[in-house]
């Protein structure tokens, strides 16, 4: 289908420990921690206080700003704390802690059977907004905003991102195999909201079973299912669009500017649940894997379950973890404690044993150019790292297009000098933001 | 013979012509510049530290000569001598210049401090700060990767064997470049004659602070209650000393006595041997 791919990397996928395992429904957590910020945008505002009794699906924190998202109770029980708690991405964040009463009761009026085909797009959008749905691929951008393109922009194609290019992660893979019908319904709902007929589901060709199942289920609906080459970062919006449509997103623009909206498969399931059954986003599928985990699994976890509890459900650690990561090994966020909660964007919990971590002293750039070949955005990571090392931020932004970098980590992966290129890039971005803010 | 003569005449003519053109251009396009600016610039320390708020020593010299509103005492590295001299040259009144000295508000050694994680990234405080505010459990303490040392143009800072920066008494000019470079704001500029100082920067609540660090200010406020002159105030769980009140009134220094963690100490400028590079 394609010639030799010039960009990206092809690391060991490490998906075998979990790809054949069915999603396990979790034991009820005793306590959940629900940060008010689990999405891109402004934090939501808590509307409950310490001591309140809440039920599953009840609204806990309300989105007040235009770009924000609701947070719901994921178990029934008592609010025991509203305070700063550890957060896997932000470090610390205001959070609502609920202690379970064991009953796991639904709040009144949450579960509703609805015929989504009778709803109009505005009503569907309102339901998605109320349900607190955000992009579950990891970027956590509020879905109701992504599905409401500003007037004047035309959407001609909807891409469902099921590439799951990060090693170890198999959550989306299992979702397609087990929740096939909900995925298809979710896609049809999104189609109705956006009013597009051209839909492509992009799945990496290392998951041919999922391609077959999806293609079978999609027969007759007009939804196309495409197998795309297995190559990291195939699942990044911009690379997937390029592979499927041969269109390139211009620098500094969104896919919307070329008429494309991309949604993750997990998000489609959440949309289906919310619109058809009235269930807000209170749980997600998480892959718990890595060499230090006793028994890697795909778990369906309530949002707010701590990492410690999730790891315990997989038999705990078999050796001390050298590194603990939320998300995939290439783009995920390293954690220092297992007290952090699973948030809406947590696609995986990975604990790596000592021998799996490749660390070592970095040495100067030898100008071999490996990173230039690997960069999917066509940037020059070697120069970006050197400029970052010397704090030449302006040059990095203006001449080397720092902000086109999506921090996929290919450059750092291939670097023979073990340079921490992504760290230099993040540092430069931070410095640039600080200077701009002054 | 005539060839030599011809060449001499032509060259002299050419030289004379260009000489006259240059002389005319010099007259016509002359830039009026106050000679005082050069004189003032000459006496400034040339650290180009920017503590005055101008782009460099030349920019400050120009501003102080030409703008009557610019004070002559803005050059902090120059201290009183330069301030007086600039005032004399520009005919302005030299206001008092308060001596300033970089002070590191954290005494918890990096080598023994509790850590959240093992930091393996690039050796830069601002870069470590991106990762959950640095590896130390205390989110307010010194990270110890030496951005302040690299920022100092006067060679006045070194890292000691505990991984904390130490200020060299003889070289510190009080320009404040180190304080700007620190991502956590651990470095304050204080009066070197101040009798006491708080060796802590933590705004965390008492119970949490105690868990994080044994020598931190727990915000109990005993020192503030002890002080008869109200020189110590509690701001965000941290004692803050107004050293101008201490210098003016205090002789007995009673604030130290009851501090449970010894976070408030008599302030001593570190002796020179401590500031030798390790």
Q: What is the pLDDT of residues B139-161, one digit of tens each?
A: 899 999 999 999 998 888 999 88
Residue A207: partners with Cβ closer than 8 Å, 6 or more residues away: A19, A162, A164, A173, A176
Per-residue pLDDT, B275 = 52
Chain B, window 46-105: residues with a beta carbon less than 8 angstroms from a chain A beta carbon = none
Place of tokens 């998000």: A267
Quickly list H helices, chain B.
2-28, 35-43, 57-66, 79-90, 125-130, 147-151, 177-181, 206-212, 222-226, 243-249
Quickly list H helices, A121-251.
121-130, 143-146, 171-178, 180-194, 208-218, 237-245
Q: Of the candidates A359, A424, A431, which has its C-beta nearest B122's C-beta?
A: A424
CB contact under 8 A, A336 and B133: no
CB contact under 8 A, B121 and A389: no
Per-residue pLDDT, A4 = 65
CB contact under 8 A, B122 and A427: yes
Per-residue pLDDT, A393 = 93
Class of domain B35-90: mainly alpha
Residue A432: partners with Cβ closer than 8 Å, 6 or more residues away: A393, A394, A396, A397, A402, A403
Whether a cis peptide bond, with omega within 30° of 0, leads into A233 is yes
Q: Which residue has the higher pLDDT, B166 or B267?
A: B166
Which residues does chain A have within 8 Å of residue B120's beta carbon, measured at their own beta carbons? 359
How many Cα atoms occupy the beta-carbon half-sphere of B198 within 13 Å? Answer: 30
User: B121 to chain A nearest CA, in Å?
Assistant: 7
Per-residue pLDDT, B278 = 43
CB contact under 8 A, A91 and B133: yes
Alpha-carbon span A300 to A20, nearest angstrom: 15
Which residues does chain A have within 8 Å of residue B119's beta carbon, measured at their own beta carbons? none
Per-residue pLDDT, A139 = 85
Q: Which two tokens mark A7? A: 């960009």
Mean pLDDT of chain B: 88
Chain B, window 119-138: residues with a beta carbon less than 8 angstroms from a chain A beta carbon = 120-122, 124, 126-127, 130-133
Whose CA is closest to B155, among B138, B136, B168?
Answer: B168
Per-residue pLDDT, B277 = 47
Please determine, for residue B273, whether its predicted confidence score (pLDDT) is greater than 80.
no
Alpha-carbon span A276 to A268, nearest angstrom: 12
CB contact under 8 A, A91 and B132: yes
CB contact under 8 A, A426 and B130: yes
B51, B177 Cβ separation under 8 angstroms = yes
Rounded to the nearest 10 degrees, the angle between the axes of helix A121-130 and helix A180-194 is 120
- In a structure prediction context, what are the per-residue pLDDT tens digits for chain A, which is 438 residues long? 445 677 899 999 999 999 999 999 868 999 999 999 999 999 999 999 999 999 999 999 999 998 999 999 999 999 999 999 999 998 889 999 999 999 999 999 889 999 999 999 999 999 999 999 999 988 899 999 999 998 888 899 999 999 999 999 999 999 999 999 999 999 999 999 999 999 999 999 999 999 999 999 999 999 999 999 999 999 999 999 999 999 999 998 999 999 999 999 999 999 999 999 999 999 999 999 999 999 999 999 999 999 999 999 999 999 999 999 999 999 999 999 999 999 999 999 999 999 888 888 889 999 999 999 999 999 999 999 999 999 899 999 999 999 999 999 999 999 999 999 999 999 999 999 887 654
Alpha-carbon span A71 to A93, nearest angstrom: 14
Which residues does chain B have within 8 Å of residue A91's beta carbon, measured at their own beta carbons? 132-133
Please state the domain extents for chain B. Answer: 35-90, 101-274
| Proportion of chain B above pLDDT 70, given as a percent | 96
CB contacts < 8 A, A to B, total: 28
Q: Which range among A149-153, B94-98, B200-204 shows the weakest confidence by mean pLDDT?
A: B94-98
Architecture of B101-274 per CATH? 2-Layer Sandwich (3.30)
Per-residue pLDDT, B48 = 86
- Strand duo A157-162 + A260-264: pairing: parallel
List the single residue in B with minimal CA-CA distance to A335. Answer: B117
Per-residue pLDDT, B270 = 61
The domains found in chain A, sorted by start residue, are: 24-110+280-355 (3.10.20.600), 116-277 (3.40.50.11540), 370-434 (no CATH)
CB contact under 8 A, B122 and A337: no
């Amino acid at each position: 289908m394609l010639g030799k791919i010039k960009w990206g990397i092809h690391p060991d996928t490490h998906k075998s420990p979990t790809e054949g395992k069915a999603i396990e429904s979790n034991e009820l957590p005793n306590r959940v921690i629900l940060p008010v910020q689990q999405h891109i945008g402004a934090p939501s505002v808590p509307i409950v206080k310490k001591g309140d009794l809440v039920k599953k699906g009840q609204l806990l924190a309300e989105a007040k700003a235009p770009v924000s998202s609701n947070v719901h109770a994921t178990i029934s029980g008592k609010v025991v704390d509203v305070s700063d708690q550890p957060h896997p991405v932000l470090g610390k964040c205001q959070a609502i802690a609920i202690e379970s009463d064991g009953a796991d009761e639904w709040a009144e009026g949450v579960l509703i059977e609805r015929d989504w085909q009778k709803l109009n797009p505005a009503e569907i959008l309102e339901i998605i907004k109320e349900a607190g749905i955000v992009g579950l691929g990891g970027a956590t951008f509020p879905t109701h905003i992504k599905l409401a393109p500003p007037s004047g922009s035309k959407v001609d194609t909807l891409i469902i991102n099921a590439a799951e290019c990060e090693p170890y992660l198999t959550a989306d893979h299992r979702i397609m195999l087990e929740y096939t019908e909900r995925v298809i319904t979710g896609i049809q709902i999104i189609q109705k909201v956006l009013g597009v007929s051209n839909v492509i589901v992009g799945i990496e060709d290392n998951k041919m079973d999922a391609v077959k199942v999806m293609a079978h289920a999609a027969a007759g609906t007009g939804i196309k299912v495409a197998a795309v080459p297995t190559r990291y970062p195939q699942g990044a919006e911009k690379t997937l669009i390029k592979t499927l449509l041969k269109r390139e997103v211009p620098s500094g623009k969104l896919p919307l500017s070329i008429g494309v909206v991309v949604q993750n498969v997990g998000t489609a399931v959440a949309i289906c649940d919310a619109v058809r059954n009235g269930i807000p986003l209170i749980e997600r599928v998480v892959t718990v894997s890595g060499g230090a985990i006793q028994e890697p699994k795909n778990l369906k976890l309530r949002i707010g379950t701590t990492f410690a509890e999730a790891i315990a459900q997989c038999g705990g650690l078999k050796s001390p973890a050298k590194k603990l990561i939320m998300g995939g090994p290439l783009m995920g966020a390293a954690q220092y404690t297992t007290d952090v909660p699973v948030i809406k964007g947590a696609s995986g919990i990975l604990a790596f044993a000592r021998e799996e971590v490749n660390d070592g002293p970095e040495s100067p750039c030898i100008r071999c150019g490996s990173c230039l070949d690997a960069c999917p955005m066509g940037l020059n990571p070697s120069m970006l790292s050197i400029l970052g090392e010397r704090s030449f931020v302006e040059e990095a932004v203006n001449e080397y297009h720092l902000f086109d970098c999506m921090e996929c980590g290919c450059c750092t992966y291939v670097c023979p000098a073990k340079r921490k290129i992504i760290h230099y890039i993040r540092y430069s971005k931070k410095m640039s933001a600080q200077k701009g803010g002054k | 013979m005539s060839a030599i003569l011809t060449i001499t005449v032509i060259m002299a003519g050419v030289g004379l012509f260009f000489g006259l053109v240059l002389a005319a251009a010099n007259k016509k396009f002359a830039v009026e510049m106050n000679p005082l600016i050069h004189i003032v610039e000459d006496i400034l320390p040339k650290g180009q530290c920017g503590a005055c708020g101008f782009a460099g020593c030349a920019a400050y010299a120009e501003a102080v000569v030409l703008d009557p509103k610019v004070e002559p005492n803005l050059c902090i590295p120059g201290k009183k001598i330069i301030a007086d001299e600039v005032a004399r040259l520009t005919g302005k009144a030299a206001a008092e210049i308060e001596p300033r000295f970089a002070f590191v508000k954290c005494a918890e050694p990096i080598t023994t401090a509790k850590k959240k994680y093992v930091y393996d990234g690039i050796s830069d405080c601002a870069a470590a700060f991106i990762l959950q505010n640095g590896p130390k459990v205390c989110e307010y303490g010194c990270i110890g990767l030496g951005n302040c040392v690299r920022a100092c143009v006067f060679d006045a800072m070194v890292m000691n064997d505990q991984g904390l920066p130490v200020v060299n008494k003889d070289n510190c000019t009080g320009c404040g470049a180190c304080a700007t470079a620190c991502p956590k704001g651990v470095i304050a500029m204080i009066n070197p004659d101040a009798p006491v100082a708080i060796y802590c920067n933590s705004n965390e609540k008492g119970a949490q602070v105690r868990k994080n660090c044994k020598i931190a200010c727990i915000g109990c406020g005993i020192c503030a209650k002890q002080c008869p002159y109200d020189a110590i105030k509690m701001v965000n769980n941290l004692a803050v000393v107004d050293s101008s009140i201490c210098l003016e009134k205090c002789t007995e220094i009673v604030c130290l006595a009851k501090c449970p963690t010894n976070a408030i100490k008599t302030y001593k400028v570190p002796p020179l041997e401590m500031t030798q590079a390790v």
